[in-house]
Amino acid sequence: MRRIILILGLAWSLSFPAAAHQCVLEGSTSEAIQSYNACKLDLATGQSGHGGDHQSAELARLKAENERLKARLADVRQRLLGLLGDL
C-alpha cells in the first residue's frame, strides 16, 4: 500500500514542471489579448524562450562530448583491430 501511495505521489509531483510557465491574460485590451495569444502559441510550439540559452549550451556540450566519445571509440576499434591483426 505504501508503494502505491509513493508512486502516485511521485507521479503527481512530476506533473508540475510541465505547468511551470503559464500565460496570464493581463487585461481586456487588444494588445493584452494579442500578447496572451502569442504566449500560448509560443508554449504550444515549444518556442517560449524559457531556458533556451541553458538548453542550447547543454546541447552543444553534449554534442561535443558525443564527438569526443566517437573519436575515442574509433581509436579503441583501431587498436583492437591492430591487436587482432598481430595474432
DSSP string covering 10-59, please?
Answer: HHHHHTTGGGSS------SSHHHHHHHHHHHHHHHHT---TTHHHHHHHH
Task: Specify the number of domains making up the chain.
Answer: 2
Are residues 58 and 86 both part of a single domain? yes
Dihedral angle computed from the Cα positions of residues 5, 10, 15 and 21, in that order, rounded to the nearest 10 degrees: 130
Considering the entire predicted model, what is its pTM?
Answer: 0.40
- Pick the closest to residue 36 from 46, 22, 51, 50 (CA basis): 22
Where in the sequence is the domain holding 35, given as residue range(s)?
A: 21-50
Question: Is residue 51 very low, low, confident or very high in pLDDT (cuts 50, 70, 90)?
Answer: low
Q: Report the chain's mean pLDDT, rounded to a whole number.
A: 80
Question: Residue for cell digits 569526443?
Answer: 68
The predicted pLDDT at position 74 comes to 94
The answer to whether position 5 is within a domain reads: no
Q: Is residue 9 part of a domain?
A: no
